[in-house]
Amino acid sequence: MGIRVRLDYLLLDRQLTLTDLADRIGITIANLSILKTNKARAIRFSTLDALCRELQCQPGELLVWTPDEVEDGKAEA
Amino acid sequence: MTVMAKSPVAAFLAGLVNLFWHLGKVGLALCVLMFVVSPWIGTHDLKVDVKIPVALSLNATTHPVVARTPDVTDGTLGDLRGSLRFVPLKRGFIAGSAVVIAIAISLIMWVLYQLRAVFRTLKAGQPFVPENALRLRRIGWAVIIGETLRAVVALIENAYAANHFSVSSLTFVVRPDYNALTVIGGLIILVIAEVFRAGTRLDEEQSLTV
Protein backbone atom coordinates (compact mmCIF):
# COMPACT_ATOMS: atom_id res chain seq x y z
CA MET A 1 0.00 0.00 0.00
CA GLY A 2 1.43 3.35 -1.03
CA ILE A 3 -0.17 5.33 1.78
CA ARG A 4 2.33 6.71 4.26
CA VAL A 5 1.60 8.38 7.59
CA ARG A 6 3.80 11.41 8.13
CA LEU A 7 3.41 11.28 11.88
CA ASP A 8 7.14 11.42 12.58
CA TYR A 9 7.50 14.60 10.47
CA LEU A 10 4.48 16.29 12.10
CA LEU A 11 5.63 15.33 15.62
CA LEU A 12 9.04 16.83 14.92
CA ASP A 13 7.47 19.95 13.43
CA ARG A 14 5.11 20.41 16.42
CA GLN A 15 7.90 19.49 18.86
CA LEU A 16 5.83 16.75 20.41
CA THR A 17 6.74 13.25 21.53
CA LEU A 18 4.75 10.13 20.79
CA THR A 19 3.92 9.87 24.50
CA ASP A 20 2.58 13.44 24.62
CA LEU A 21 0.37 12.83 21.61
CA ALA A 22 -0.83 9.51 22.97
CA ASP A 23 -1.87 11.21 26.23
CA ARG A 24 -3.67 14.03 24.42
CA ILE A 25 -5.74 11.91 22.05
CA GLY A 26 -6.26 8.90 24.30
CA ILE A 27 -4.63 6.28 22.04
CA THR A 28 -2.02 3.87 23.28
CA ILE A 29 1.62 4.42 22.35
CA ALA A 30 1.64 0.96 20.78
CA ASN A 31 -1.15 1.93 18.38
CA LEU A 32 0.45 5.27 17.58
CA SER A 33 3.69 3.43 16.93
CA ILE A 34 1.86 1.19 14.44
CA LEU A 35 0.74 4.35 12.65
CA LYS A 36 4.15 6.00 12.82
CA THR A 37 5.94 2.96 11.41
CA ASN A 38 3.36 2.62 8.60
CA LYS A 39 2.26 -0.84 9.70
CA ALA A 40 -1.41 0.13 10.05
CA ARG A 41 -3.90 -1.42 7.65
CA ALA A 42 -6.64 1.11 8.39
CA ILE A 43 -7.28 4.27 10.36
CA ARG A 44 -10.57 5.21 11.99
CA PHE A 45 -12.10 8.60 11.24
CA SER A 46 -12.22 9.24 15.00
CA THR A 47 -8.43 8.66 15.23
CA LEU A 48 -7.82 10.85 12.20
CA ASP A 49 -10.03 13.54 13.71
CA ALA A 50 -8.15 13.44 17.01
CA LEU A 51 -4.76 13.51 15.30
CA CYS A 52 -5.72 16.46 13.07
CA ARG A 53 -7.13 18.33 16.06
CA GLU A 54 -4.03 17.90 18.21
CA LEU A 55 -1.50 18.36 15.43
CA GLN A 56 -3.46 21.26 13.90
CA CYS A 57 -3.25 19.83 10.43
CA GLN A 58 -5.37 18.60 7.55
CA PRO A 59 -5.70 14.85 6.77
CA GLY A 60 -3.77 15.52 3.57
CA GLU A 61 -0.77 16.67 5.59
CA LEU A 62 -0.85 13.52 7.67
CA LEU A 63 -1.40 11.00 4.89
CA VAL A 64 0.51 10.93 1.64
CA TRP A 65 0.39 8.54 -1.26
CA THR A 66 3.65 7.47 -2.83
CA PRO A 67 3.64 5.23 -5.94
CA ASP A 68 7.04 3.69 -5.23
CA GLU A 69 6.13 2.46 -1.77
CA VAL A 70 7.73 -0.78 -0.65
CA GLU A 71 5.12 -3.34 0.37
CA ASP A 72 5.74 -6.46 2.47
CA GLY A 73 9.45 -6.22 1.85
CA LYS A 74 9.00 -6.41 -1.97
CA ALA A 75 9.43 -3.47 -4.30
CA GLU A 76 6.48 -2.89 -6.63
CA ALA A 77 7.20 -3.28 -10.34
CA MET B 1 -9.99 -14.00 24.23
CA THR B 2 -8.31 -14.77 27.53
CA VAL B 3 -11.80 -15.02 29.01
CA MET B 4 -12.49 -17.91 26.63
CA ALA B 5 -9.39 -19.70 27.85
CA LYS B 6 -10.77 -19.58 31.40
CA SER B 7 -14.16 -20.86 30.30
CA PRO B 8 -15.15 -24.03 32.18
CA VAL B 9 -16.54 -25.51 28.95
CA ALA B 10 -13.21 -25.00 27.17
CA ALA B 11 -11.36 -26.47 30.15
CA PHE B 12 -13.72 -29.46 30.22
CA LEU B 13 -13.34 -30.06 26.47
CA ALA B 14 -9.56 -29.72 26.67
CA GLY B 15 -9.54 -32.27 29.52
CA LEU B 16 -11.74 -34.62 27.50
CA VAL B 17 -9.48 -34.33 24.45
CA ASN B 18 -6.42 -35.00 26.63
CA LEU B 19 -8.14 -38.03 28.18
CA PHE B 20 -8.94 -39.49 24.75
CA TRP B 21 -5.41 -38.71 23.61
CA HIS B 22 -3.96 -40.81 26.42
CA LEU B 23 -6.55 -43.56 25.89
CA GLY B 24 -5.52 -43.58 22.23
CA LYS B 25 -1.91 -44.13 23.25
CA VAL B 26 -2.99 -47.09 25.39
CA GLY B 27 -5.06 -48.43 22.48
CA LEU B 28 -2.11 -48.14 20.11
CA ALA B 29 0.11 -49.99 22.59
CA LEU B 30 -2.50 -52.76 22.85
CA CYS B 31 -2.63 -53.01 19.05
CA VAL B 32 1.15 -53.43 18.91
CA LEU B 33 0.90 -56.08 21.62
CA MET B 34 -1.91 -57.84 19.72
CA PHE B 35 0.18 -57.78 16.54
CA VAL B 36 3.23 -59.17 18.34
CA VAL B 37 1.37 -62.04 20.03
CA SER B 38 -0.76 -62.80 16.93
CA PRO B 39 1.51 -65.70 15.79
CA TRP B 40 0.71 -67.51 19.05
CA ILE B 41 -3.02 -66.82 18.99
CA GLY B 42 -5.00 -69.96 18.13
CA THR B 43 -2.31 -72.19 19.63
CA HIS B 44 -1.52 -73.12 23.24
CA ASP B 45 -5.13 -72.38 24.24
CA LEU B 46 -4.56 -68.67 23.58
CA LYS B 47 -7.78 -67.80 21.81
CA VAL B 48 -9.24 -64.36 21.20
CA ASP B 49 -12.79 -63.77 20.10
CA VAL B 50 -13.56 -60.93 17.73
CA LYS B 51 -16.73 -59.06 16.88
CA ILE B 52 -17.49 -57.83 13.39
CA PRO B 53 -20.49 -55.91 12.03
CA VAL B 54 -22.80 -57.92 9.77
CA ALA B 55 -25.74 -57.17 7.51
CA LEU B 56 -28.51 -59.72 7.24
CA SER B 57 -31.63 -60.45 5.27
CA LEU B 58 -34.45 -62.50 6.71
CA ASN B 59 -36.61 -65.05 4.95
CA ALA B 60 -40.01 -63.36 5.09
CA THR B 61 -41.95 -66.62 4.67
CA THR B 62 -40.32 -68.32 7.67
CA HIS B 63 -40.33 -65.19 9.81
CA PRO B 64 -43.51 -63.29 9.06
CA VAL B 65 -44.21 -60.10 10.96
CA VAL B 66 -47.82 -60.29 12.05
CA ALA B 67 -49.90 -57.28 13.00
CA ARG B 68 -51.23 -57.37 16.58
CA THR B 69 -53.67 -54.52 16.20
CA PRO B 70 -56.24 -53.98 13.45
CA ASP B 71 -54.95 -50.50 12.54
CA VAL B 72 -51.81 -51.86 10.78
CA THR B 73 -51.12 -54.57 8.21
CA ASP B 74 -48.59 -57.40 8.43
CA GLY B 75 -45.01 -56.21 7.86
CA THR B 76 -41.66 -57.50 6.70
CA LEU B 77 -38.26 -57.19 8.34
CA GLY B 78 -35.45 -55.91 6.17
CA ASP B 79 -32.01 -54.29 6.26
CA LEU B 80 -31.05 -56.09 9.45
CA ARG B 81 -27.76 -55.18 11.04
CA GLY B 82 -25.94 -56.71 13.96
CA SER B 83 -22.61 -57.98 15.13
CA LEU B 84 -21.10 -61.44 14.91
CA ARG B 85 -18.81 -62.72 17.63
CA PHE B 86 -16.50 -65.64 16.85
CA VAL B 87 -13.01 -67.02 17.47
CA PRO B 88 -10.81 -66.84 14.39
CA LEU B 89 -8.34 -69.68 14.08
CA LYS B 90 -6.32 -68.14 11.30
CA ARG B 91 -3.46 -66.14 12.82
CA GLY B 92 -3.38 -63.58 10.02
CA PHE B 93 -6.88 -62.43 10.93
CA ILE B 94 -5.75 -61.16 14.34
CA ALA B 95 -2.64 -59.50 12.91
CA GLY B 96 -4.73 -57.86 10.16
CA SER B 97 -7.32 -56.72 12.68
CA ALA B 98 -4.56 -55.21 14.84
CA VAL B 99 -3.26 -53.25 11.86
CA VAL B 100 -6.74 -52.00 10.89
CA ILE B 101 -7.53 -50.95 14.48
CA ALA B 102 -4.11 -49.26 14.78
CA ILE B 103 -4.81 -47.27 11.59
CA ALA B 104 -8.23 -46.23 12.94
CA ILE B 105 -6.75 -45.17 16.30
CA SER B 106 -3.92 -43.31 14.52
CA LEU B 107 -6.45 -41.32 12.51
CA ILE B 108 -8.42 -40.49 15.66
CA MET B 109 -5.20 -39.50 17.46
CA TRP B 110 -4.22 -37.28 14.53
CA VAL B 111 -7.56 -35.47 14.91
CA LEU B 112 -6.98 -35.21 18.68
CA TYR B 113 -3.48 -33.84 18.00
CA GLN B 114 -5.03 -31.06 15.90
CA LEU B 115 -7.62 -30.36 18.60
CA ARG B 116 -4.91 -30.19 21.28
CA ALA B 117 -3.05 -27.64 19.16
CA VAL B 118 -6.27 -25.60 18.83
CA PHE B 119 -6.78 -25.69 22.60
CA ARG B 120 -3.16 -24.58 23.15
CA THR B 121 -3.82 -21.43 21.08
CA LEU B 122 -7.07 -20.91 23.00
CA LYS B 123 -5.20 -21.16 26.30
CA ALA B 124 -2.61 -18.68 25.03
CA GLY B 125 -5.44 -16.26 24.22
CA GLN B 126 -4.71 -16.31 20.47
CA PRO B 127 -7.22 -18.72 18.90
CA PHE B 128 -7.85 -16.64 15.77
CA VAL B 129 -4.73 -17.64 13.87
CA PRO B 130 -4.64 -19.00 10.28
CA GLU B 131 -3.10 -22.26 11.56
CA ASN B 132 -6.33 -23.06 13.42
CA ALA B 133 -8.34 -22.69 10.22
CA LEU B 134 -5.97 -25.19 8.60
CA ARG B 135 -6.33 -27.53 11.60
CA LEU B 136 -10.12 -27.38 11.40
CA ARG B 137 -9.94 -28.14 7.69
CA ARG B 138 -7.71 -31.15 8.41
CA ILE B 139 -10.22 -32.38 11.02
CA GLY B 140 -13.08 -32.04 8.52
CA TRP B 141 -11.23 -34.09 5.91
CA ALA B 142 -10.21 -36.66 8.53
CA VAL B 143 -13.88 -37.15 9.50
CA ILE B 144 -14.89 -37.69 5.86
CA ILE B 145 -11.93 -39.97 5.07
CA GLY B 146 -12.37 -41.84 8.37
CA GLU B 147 -16.02 -42.54 7.62
CA THR B 148 -15.12 -43.73 4.11
CA LEU B 149 -12.46 -46.08 5.51
CA ARG B 150 -14.90 -47.37 8.14
CA ALA B 151 -17.49 -48.09 5.45
CA VAL B 152 -14.91 -49.96 3.35
CA VAL B 153 -13.76 -52.04 6.35
CA ALA B 154 -17.40 -52.80 7.26
CA LEU B 155 -18.03 -53.92 3.68
CA ILE B 156 -15.01 -56.25 3.83
CA GLU B 157 -16.23 -57.63 7.17
CA ASN B 158 -19.71 -58.17 5.67
CA ALA B 159 -18.10 -60.11 2.84
CA TYR B 160 -16.02 -62.14 5.32
CA ALA B 161 -19.13 -63.09 7.31
CA ALA B 162 -21.04 -63.98 4.13
CA ASN B 163 -18.20 -66.23 2.94
CA HIS B 164 -17.44 -67.95 6.24
CA PHE B 165 -20.77 -68.32 8.06
CA SER B 166 -24.31 -69.41 7.45
CA VAL B 167 -27.37 -69.39 9.64
CA SER B 168 -30.81 -70.86 9.07
CA SER B 169 -33.53 -68.48 7.82
CA LEU B 170 -30.99 -65.64 7.64
CA THR B 171 -28.63 -64.69 4.87
CA PHE B 172 -25.47 -62.67 5.40
CA VAL B 173 -25.40 -59.93 2.79
CA VAL B 174 -22.68 -57.60 1.62
CA ARG B 175 -24.12 -54.12 1.83
CA PRO B 176 -22.42 -50.71 2.00
CA ASP B 177 -23.00 -48.92 5.30
CA TYR B 178 -21.98 -45.34 4.56
CA ASN B 179 -23.13 -42.95 7.26
CA ALA B 180 -24.19 -39.83 5.38
CA LEU B 181 -24.70 -37.90 8.62
CA THR B 182 -21.03 -38.32 9.57
CA VAL B 183 -19.97 -37.10 6.12
CA ILE B 184 -22.30 -34.11 6.48
CA GLY B 185 -20.68 -33.49 9.88
CA GLY B 186 -17.30 -33.44 8.15
CA LEU B 187 -18.61 -31.03 5.53
CA ILE B 188 -19.95 -28.75 8.28
CA ILE B 189 -16.48 -28.71 9.87
CA LEU B 190 -14.98 -27.79 6.47
CA VAL B 191 -17.44 -24.91 6.12
CA ILE B 192 -16.67 -23.74 9.67
CA ALA B 193 -12.95 -23.90 8.81
CA GLU B 194 -13.52 -21.58 5.84
CA VAL B 195 -15.56 -19.18 7.99
CA PHE B 196 -12.79 -19.32 10.60
CA ARG B 197 -10.18 -18.57 7.92
CA ALA B 198 -12.11 -15.47 6.85
CA GLY B 199 -12.51 -14.56 10.54
CA THR B 200 -8.78 -14.75 11.19
CA ARG B 201 -8.18 -12.42 8.24
CA LEU B 202 -10.70 -9.93 9.64
CA ASP B 203 -9.12 -10.25 13.09
CA GLU B 204 -5.69 -9.61 11.62
CA GLU B 205 -6.96 -6.50 9.84
CA GLN B 206 -8.77 -5.34 12.96
CA SER B 207 -5.62 -5.69 15.02
CA LEU B 208 -3.83 -3.28 12.66
CA THR B 209 -6.65 -0.74 12.60
CA VAL B 210 -5.84 2.31 14.68
Q: B99-113, pLDDT tens digit by residue?
A: 999 999 999 999 999
Half-sphere exposure of B119 toward its Cβ, with a 13 Å CA cutoff?
Answer: 19
Distance from CA of B208 to the nearest CA of A (A): 5
Per DSSP bridges, beta strands A63-65 and A3-5 are: antiparallel
Distance from CA of A45 to the nearest CA of B (A): 10
pLDDT of residue A53: 94
The lowest-confidence range among B57-66, B107-116, B146-155 is B57-66
φ, ψ of residue B50 to 5 degrees: the values are -120, 160
Contact between chains at A27 and B209 (C-beta distance less than 8 A): no
Distance from CA of A72 to the nearest CA of B (A): 14
Q: A37 at the B interface (CB within 8 A)?
A: no
Distance from CA of A39 to the nearest CA of B (A): 7
Q: Chain A residues with CB inside 8 Å of B205's CB?
A: 41-42
- Work out the percent of chain B whose per-residue pLDDT is above 70: 94
Tell me how many residue pairs between chain A and chain B have CB atoms under 8 A apart.
22
Q: Residue A42's closest chain B neighbor by CA?
A: B209
pLDDT of residue B138: 96
Q: A41 at the B interface (CB within 8 A)?
A: yes
Contact between chains at A40 and B205 (C-beta distance less than 8 A): no
Q: Residue B204's closest chain A neighbor by CA?
A: A41
- pTM of the predicted protein model: 0.71
List Cα–Cα distances, B205 to A41, A42, A50, B11, B128, in angstroms.
6, 8, 21, 29, 12
Q: With cut-offs at 50, 70 and 90, classify the pLDDT of residue B45.
A: low
Contact between chains at A35 and B210 (C-beta distance less than 8 A): yes
pLDDT of residue A71: 52
A45: left (phi over 0), alpha (psi -120 to 50) or beta: alpha
Q: Chain A residues with CB inside 8 Å of B203's CB?
A: none
Q: Chain B residues with CB inside 8 Å of A41's CB?
A: 205, 208-209
Q: A45 at the B interface (CB within 8 A)?
A: no
pLDDT under 70: residue ranges of chain A: 1, 68-77
Instruction: Report the distance separating Cα B206 and Cα B210, nearest Å.
Output: 8
DSSP SS3 for B109: helix
Contact between chains at B209 and A44 (C-beta distance less than 8 A): yes
pLDDT above 90: residue B17: yes
pLDDT of residue B131: 94
- Looking at every residue in chain B, the average pLDDT score rounds to 88
Contact between chains at A47 and B208 (C-beta distance less than 8 A): no
Q: A42 at the B interface (CB within 8 A)?
A: yes
